[in-house]
Amino acid sequence: MSLTKKQFDILVAIEREKKDKYSQRNIASDTNISVGLVNKIISELLDNGLIDVKNKITKKGLKELEPYRVKRAIFLAAGFGSRLVPITLNTPKPLVKVHGKRMIETLLDAVVAAEIPEIIIVRGYLGEQFEVLLHKYPNIKFLDNKLYNEANNISSAYIIRDYLENAYVLESDLVLSNPNLICKYEYKSNFLGIPVDKTDDWCIIVKKDVIVKEQIGGVDCHQMVGISYYDAKDGKQLAKDIEEVFNSPGGKEKYWEQVQLDVKRNNYKIGVRECSKDDIIEIDTFNELKQIDKTYDV
C-alpha cells in the first residue's frame, strides 16, 4: 500500500516508541492528530497488517516504512566562518565549542540517535582538525573540498551530488537543542523552517505546502534553518541540477540551496518542516557567540 502522510506519521510514532502500552490518546498527542482520526487510521493499519492488536508495528509495517528510511546525513563543513573571527582563525567553525560541546556534535549525536547509517562530512578549511571526531563517531566518511576558498558552498554540494537520495544535508554551524528534528524516516523532501511574522534573514515562502520562493527578508514566512531532506526522486534530480548550475556562468558563486529553491525550483515540490527558535540556533557572529556562551565574553 501507499502510505498517506497521517498513516506514515502514526506508523513512525509506533515504531519509534516501541511501548507495550501505547494508547491511541498518546499517539494522538504525539502526532497532533485528533483521537477520532487516530482511531480510524489505527483500524486501517491493523486491517493491512502493518500493526498488531497491541498497536505494535509488524514486519510488514517495517517493510512498508523502508522506502522512507533516511540513508545518510551529509554535513557541509568546508567554509572559513569569517564572521566568527577570532575564534575561527585556528578552529573550523563547526568545531567551535558552545557550552563545552562542539557545534557539529549536537547534530551528529542526533544523527546517531536516529540510527542513520551513513555520515559524510565535506571539509575544507583546517580540514585535518575534523579527524578528532572519529574518536566518538568512527564511521564518518570525509570528502575534501579543495575549492572552498574560491567558490561558494555549491562547491561542497557538487562533491556530494551523487549521495543525495534519501539524505539529509546539514549546515555544520548549527547548535541543535531538539534532537527529534533528525528523524529515522522522512515522508518527502523538506526544508526546516521557523514560522515568523517578520524577518530580515533568509526565508522561504510557502504556498499550498510547497516552497515557492527563497529570499532575504519577508513577512508571514519561514526563516530558513540549514537542514533539509531529499527523497530518492528529488535526490536523483538534484544531482543533475547541481552539476548543471555549478558548471554554468556564475554558478560557482551561488549558495547550494539556490539550485532547488530558485534556479531549478520548477523541478521540485519541496515542503517546509516547522520548528521553533528554541529547537536550533545558528551562531553567525562572535558577538552572538559571546551572548550565548559567556565563557567567550572576556
Same domain, 33 and 130: no
- pLDDT tens digit string along 97-127? 999 999 999 999 999 999 999 999 999 999 9
CA angle 234, 237, 238 (to 5 degrees): 80
- pLDDT tens digit string along 229-238? 999 999 999 9
**Cα–Cα dist 10/24, whole Å:** 10
**Cα–Cα dist 133/155, whole Å:** 23
Same domain, 24 and 78: no
Q: How crowded is residue 97: how many other Cβ atoms within 10 Å of its Cβ? A: 15
User: Which residue range is the domain that position 60 belongs to?
Assistant: 5-66
Same domain, 97 and 135: yes
Same domain, 200 and 258: yes
pLDDT of residue 1: 67
Q: Give the end of a domain, one of 18, 37, 66.
A: 66
Same domain, 183 and 269: yes
Three cell numbers written together for 298: 572576556
pLDDT of residue 7: 96
Domain with residue 42: its CATH number is: 1.10.10.10
Same domain, 76 and 126: yes
Same domain, 241 and 285: yes
How many structural domains does the chain have? 2
Q: Give the end of a domain, one of 66, 83, 107.
A: 66
Same domain, 228 and 169: yes
Same domain, 25 and 123: no
pLDDT of residue 81: 84
Q: Pairing between strand 97-98 and 101-102?
A: antiparallel
Same domain, 135 and 251: yes
Q: Give the end of a domain, one of 66, 87, 106.
A: 66
User: Looking at the predicted structure, is the pLDDT value of residue 80 above 90?
Assistant: no
Nearest Cα neighbor of 172 from 86, 84, 102, 277 is: 102
Same domain, 111 and 203: yes
Radius of gyration of the chain (CA): 20
- pLDDT tens digit string along 136-179? 999 999 999 999 988 999 999 999 999 999 999 999 999 999 99
Beta bridge partner(s), residue 57: 51
pTM for this prediction: 0.94
**Cα–Cα dist 147/142, whole Å:** 15
